[in-house]
Chains A and B, each alone.
Chain A
């Protein structure tokens, strides 16, 4: 049984003024196995972010369904949804500082998801220090978000996203703002995370490094999957 099963997903946005519908996803179906590193690529407006938001339980589809870990997530109750967000997914956004709360230090930011999940205080600290150490941010723990670089901020974001050891990590163009070498650094972190914890990664990206690093990649265009690349095909597609 696959970890994630997406079946005939449709999402239509209705323009509030003209009342015309814009189709962001138009019958998307795919499956993802546990521990996979998956990429989603495509031009702007293809529906990538919408797809990611639905997978993360932040948005409901107009029709179709998503099964994650044997559970249909598009119709979860309020409590189930909260549980799902806390335990199953971590989310990483495009702009590094969007992931962080500006008034908090790096350490406080990393501890926040653990506090939300009601982890004991000692455990919060332990996990937060481990993560900061892992991402080479220990010396930055008392800095505020506006005192660190973009690459560092994205690493903090990564630490926050995996703090509760989610099964799935969703990243929305997470290296969009970063230069090539920093992007490579982030990709390496993701890969090592995937290997160490068996986390399933679903990353939306334009960047070649990502496509190359993935186990499989879906090409999205006009709300439809137009191509599926495997390790072998990537060589050709690239």
Chain B
């Protein structure tokens, strides 16, 4: 009975608070529809995101969250590389035999996550000729024939629909060339294989000696993403050497070879085996144990495969751990980005709900007083308010979902990188995507609403009544009480900044990472909220002063607006805070990923190193001097590389690879994330110490094998001293066009300055070494010209040129889609802001109906009321933008630096998409002005009498 009565009271309360209910619902709806996108994104990120990210197209998955069954099982790079001297052409049967064995090993060892392997057959000892049409000279060139399994072609098709969709039969071929499209490729001796037409993308037919027609589709080398996919998927050695790569199915390559009459006896095939583990059900935020589990699994698999595959391979080279390491690092990167991108909408949602409930609070006081005076208990009032919250939350959840999905789809469609398939299963949760969404939205929405509103609701239900017409009983609070929220925020801001620095200076490892993430992301938030609170408090007196001045000078609509703003100071402050916070976070969500993206690509320039590699055994110093004199050259470094030499480091013989570099080059390498590569000393210290002859860095494995530590030294048999000054785990993949970058983790490195390594070479009489110059161009696409100049002057040197150089690593399509994504993110936060302003305008209308009625009764013209509303709204927007914009950029800089500090890669260039910001801000102002007009119009249309009687 009691329950029923409480329910009735609650319903009665609900009926009388329709307006506040409406406002809360609007606020919540918008807040939820925006956070909804992030929720969707997080769901979509499982597996699929990882796949798209790892494949180099991360912007494709970041915002929308692609859920696709085609991308759930993507590992990176070949895990095994086997060489086979086979006396037959590549066939699917051979492949299936390997697959069968691998599956058996997995199953025997109880690894259910193993979903299969894929093979790449690479045939490398075929020589074709190509003619440079500009000079008419004929140059011999290696061609690699690559046979892919159906699964790999599907993968490539998913990543890059252009081109790969063509390959679906044994009689189709992709020719991927690093040469310019005007080159002709042919085999002149017997004309068995002749492509005479230009290599422009498109379908052409090759006529083979056997008379079998072959369709081919040419891809230009500058179709950069394809190159990157290859690099990721198949490893560097597969794509670096030849000028021409021909890709077909495994059987297609077999057929082609047969048709060309290549002698089977001389065929050398390399098989790259990708072990595919199903990562799709590992959430982005639960990777730690999964990573370890998989590392363990793949290692076991490796040892088993090594034992059992001798029947196929004459040599097996494994790089499992290396791939997993890369995988792990990328994983961390995604997590950081996700955290940064997720936080703003959630913060905005939080703020919107808070804002809406403040409105409810102001509307509810009279009602609560009335109930209390009639003898209602606190609990009865609490139930009434809870019901109100429950109803508005539920309606908002439904509306938020209904709004969120189309909004997301719309953004996806306009920007072209989002796909949401509602019926696809979500990872291992056992739900389809749409059900997972509904569950997450319901739980998160209700939880969020409860967390924010419950304390307020309880406070409201305990209000003391004075009288029905009056407000709650108020006492003047001491200043510190009045500013309690500010104080908490302020204290947290100081605390988090302090903790952040403590994390950097005094902690390490996972603790450091966790602390940096927690305090690094929340400190700027506390600063933004704190600053906007303070500003909004200072804002009212300033506006009042200005209003008074203008009023004294003769008034006018603008002065009236200013006075109105100060009259409604609470709501105005809240609106200003809302704009500052949403705008700041909007900018953060735009600028931070943009900055990270920009700087990552800049870093890649360093990572991928040289545009031109010159190798010579005699005149390297002279060539270096010449190259330095060229205007178009940015930098020149000497490198000595010694492959797999056996030396005695004082504790017994060991096979090692020596690398002599300029310390300055090492600094370039240092841009490549010292933490990631496990350097145990700060970069600056390393470089300084490396400049001293005799100092070497040793790879961890070397140290472990020998039981040595950093700080040990040894003396060569010639009496030269060497000191081990540091260790590292992996050596950065610095160089294009060099064998150094291959098999990095399988080698044991010794790294020193050129002088030191030179001396080591002498001491141990190492027989095979390469001295090279690594040259970087000043401007993109000048490498060929530089190489030509060097070649003219020194005809005997070997030159490898990366045609479009390091600048080619800036993937424009990917970058453009990233920007599109960022702008979408910013746009959604702006929608929030505009909605906030609209709510504010509505609130003004409800609260000020009587005031407006009086103003109109006194003879104010419609136009004046109309403009007064608009001025107020624009003024609030203007102030919000004025403060929010610089604040947002400042906070973005802080967050970007925090994220970047994980990689210890200074300096960071803050990349602000100004044009997009400008367009969106103008759009926001226009929409805000329109949204202000609606209540103004409503007010004007209403009868004065109705307004005056409005309750």
Where the two chains meet, the residues of A that have a C-beta atom closer than 8 Å to any C-beta of B are 16-17, 19, 49, 53, 56, 58-59, 78, 82-87, 91, 93-95, 97-99, 101-104, 108, 111-113, 115-121, 145-146, 160, 164, 172
Contact = CB atoms under 8 A, between A and B. Distances in A.
Interface residues of B, number: 36
B466 A53 contact: yes
Interface in B1-46: 1-2, 4-6, 8-9, 12-18
Contacts of B704: none
A59 B1 CA distance: 31
A115 B474 CA distance: 29
B377 interface: yes
Given A104-B12, A121-B4, A16 B474 contact: yes
24 contacts: A58-B465, A59-B467, A78-B378, A82-B375, A82-B376, A85-B372, A85-B375, A86-B375, A97-B951, A98-B370, A98-B468, A99-B370, A101-B16, A103-B15, A111-B8, A112-B8, A115-B5, A115-B12, A116-B375, A117-B375, A119-B5, A121-B4, A145-B951, A164-B375
Most chain B CB inside 10 Å of its own CB: which residue of A56, A59, A112:
A112
A49 B13 CA distance: 27
A108 B15 CA distance: 11
A146 B951 contact: yes
Most chain B CB inside 10 Å of its own CB: which residue of A17, A103, A112:
A103
Contact of B9 (A53, A82, A116): A116
B17 A103 contact: yes
A109 B380 CA distance: 16
A41 to B, nearest CB: 19
Contacts of A117: 375
Contacts of A53: 466-467
B476 interface: yes
Contact of A16 (B5, B14, B377, B476): B476
Nearest to B8: A115
A104 B466 contact: no
Nearest to B476: A16
A113 B374 contact: yes
A91 B12 CA distance: 19
B371 interface: yes
Contacts of A83: 375
A202 to B, nearest CB: 15
B951 A91 contact: no
A82 B371 CA distance: 11
B494 interface: no
B861 interface: no
A91 B469 CA distance: 13
B526 to A, nearest CB: 31
Given A53-B466, A103-B12, A103-B18, 16 more contacts: A16-B476, A19-B476, A58-B465, A78-B378, A82-B377, A87-B375, A97-B951, A101-B367, A103-B16, A103-B17, A104-B12, A104-B16, A108-B12, A115-B9, A118-B5, A145-B951
A103 B20 CA distance: 12
Contacts of A97: 951
Nearest to B9: A115
Interface string B345-376: 00000000000000000000011001111111
B949 interface: yes
A58 B949 contact: no
A17 B476 contact: yes
A87 B375 CA distance: 8
B15 A112 contact: no
B553 interface: no
A93 B374 contact: no
B158 to A, nearest CB: 56
A58 B377 CA distance: 13
Given A101-B367, A112-B374, A115-B5, A59 B16 contact: no
Contacts of A103: 12, 14-18
B949 to A, nearest CB: 7
A75 to B, nearest CB: 15
Given A58-B373, A146-B951, A118 B475 contact: no
B380 A116 contact: yes
A234 B201 CA distance: 111
Nearest to B475: A16
A49 B467 contact: yes
Interface in B628-687: none
Report whether over half of chain B's contact residues are helix, strand or loop; otherwise say mixed: helix
B368 to A, nearest CB: 11
Top 10 nearest A-B pairs by Cβ distance? A103-B15, A16-B476, A86-B375, A103-B16, A85-B375, A115-B5, A101-B16, A115-B8, A113-B374, A116-B376
A101 B12 contact: yes
Contacts of B467: 49, 53, 58-59, 93, 172
A104 B371 CA distance: 13
B2 A104 contact: no
A112 B8 CA distance: 8
Contacts of A121: 1, 4
Contacts of B2: 118
Contacts of A93: 467-469
Nearest to A172: B467
A161 to B, nearest CB: 9
A104 B15 contact: yes
B1 A91 contact: no
Contact of A116 (B5, B14, B475): B5
A99 B467 CA distance: 11
A120 to B, nearest CB: 6
B807 to A, nearest CB: 67
Most chain A CB inside 10 Å of its own CB: which residue of B14, B371, B468:
B468
Contacts of A56: 373
Nearest to A84: B375
A226 B205 CA distance: 116
B501 to A, nearest CB: 42
B474 A116 contact: no
Contacts of B380: 116
A85 B373 contact: yes
Given A17-B476, A113-B374, A146-B951, A102 B16 contact: yes
A164 B374 CA distance: 10
Nearest to A90: B374
Contacts of A49: 467
Contacts of A104: 12, 15-16
B404 to A, nearest CB: 30
Nearest to B373: A91
Given A58-B373, A97-B951, A120 B1 contact: yes
Contacts of B373: 56, 58, 85, 91
Contacts of B366: 98
A146 B372 CA distance: 22
Contacts of B951: 97, 102, 145-146
Contact of B15 (A91, A94, A101, A115): A101
Given A104-B12, A115-B5, A146 B949 contact: yes
A160 B372 CA distance: 14
B9 A101 contact: no
A111 B12 CA distance: 10
A83 to B, nearest CB: 8
Contact of A112 (B1, B12, B14): B12
Contact of B469 (A59, A78, A98, A119): A98
A14 to B, nearest CB: 8
A115 B2 CA distance: 8
Contacts of B377: 82
Contacts of A119: 5
B462 to A, nearest CB: 10
A49 B468 CA distance: 11
B469 A95 contact: yes
Interface in B839-880: none
B16 A112 contact: no
Contacts of B466: 53, 58-59
Contacts of A58: 373, 465-467
Contacts of B474: 16
Contacts of B367: 101
